[in-house]
Amino acid sequence: MRVTQGMLTSHMLRNLRESYDRMDRTQQQLMTGKKINRPSDDPVIAMKGMDHRTQLGEVEQYKRNLSEAINWSESTDNALEKATSVLQRVRELTVQASNGTYEGSQREAIAKEIYQLREHLASIANTQLGDQYMFNGTKTDVAPVDLKANKYPSATSELFIELSKGVTMNINVQGQTVFPESLFKDLEALDSELRGAGTTPINAFLTKLDQHLQSVVTARSDLGARQNRLELIENRVDEQEVVVNRILSNTEDADIERVITDLKMQESIQRAALSVGSRIIQPSLLDFLR
């Protein structure tokens, strides 16, 4: 095949363009720190990267869900702790009032405190996290207790949240379990009895109070078990995040040392190609006729 000056020049220019393209890709890798900067660079790596980023997005969402679940759980436990303290105080006052030596004015003073404790217990039952009521099932926009309207927790639905792939957990405590209508009615009856408007012996209320206390303690125990599981799930999700990030890095991140070496080598090749090209293009008929 006859090789002409035009063919040499054409081949040289084509090779120079390809060399510039390789240098451009290498420079982009060096500047971005990524093996590929567009899907066309390597479709396989691009697809794997998209898949890993999807997994990472899911893990980050699970972490947000876990944070919400932990906040909800801790706020619930704090509310139940306060409710336990209130009920224990009511029991102490009831034991005092059952003393036959207490006069009517002393019992009335105790009744006034119990009335205030009953009101405080209602406010605990209406505890909110943000703008959500915590003890009314999925009806988080409705207050569970309204003493004036004789309204008490009735929702039995559980509030579930997804914490990991295929793992969901109930994060709420049933309001009708820890703040039932009978609790407030018993405290109202105790108030009336202390004011002399009832016929039930004061001692009889101790058994009822113990039952209400036990309900709260049982709920806190169950909540504590769920909090322990939340910690285990949180640790597992944290480990998943580390693993996915490492895999994503191995898939997409460029080996900077190798990229620098490749760039230096391509620069040397480019200079050599330009030097040779200058010799190929320069000679002409006039150069030989001089």
For 220-248, how does the pLDDT look when each residue is reduced to its tens digit (9 = 90+)?
999 999 999 999 999 999 998 888 888 87
Q: Which residue has the higher pLDDT, 47 or 77?
A: 77
Looking at residue 6, its pLDDT comes to 67
Nearest to 247 by CA among 59, 62, 61: 59
pTM: 0.76
- pLDDT tens for 117-162 read 999 999 999 999 999 999 998 889 999 999 999 999 887 788 899 9
Residue 253: DSSP 8-state: B
**Least reliable range by pLDDT among 6-10, 160-164, 280-284:** 280-284
pLDDT score of 267: 76
Q: Where are the domains of the chain?
A: 51-248, 257-290
What average pLDDT score do residues 180-188 get?
94
**Are 200 and 189 in contact, with CB atoms under 8 Å apart?**
yes
pLDDT at 86: 96
Structure tokens at 109: 């003073």
Q: pLDDT > 90: what percent of the chain? A: 47
pLDDT for residue 286: 57
CB-based burial of residue 219 (10 Å sphere; 0-12 exposed, 13-18 middle, 19+ buried)? Answer: buried
The radius of gyration of the chain's CA atoms, rounded to the nearest angstrom, is 38
The H-or-E segment that residue 85 falls in is helix 43-97
How far apart, in whole angstroms, are the C-alpha atoms of residue 258 and residue 52?
24
Say if residue 95's pLDDT is above 80.
yes
List the CATH code of the domain at 51-248: 1.20.1330.10
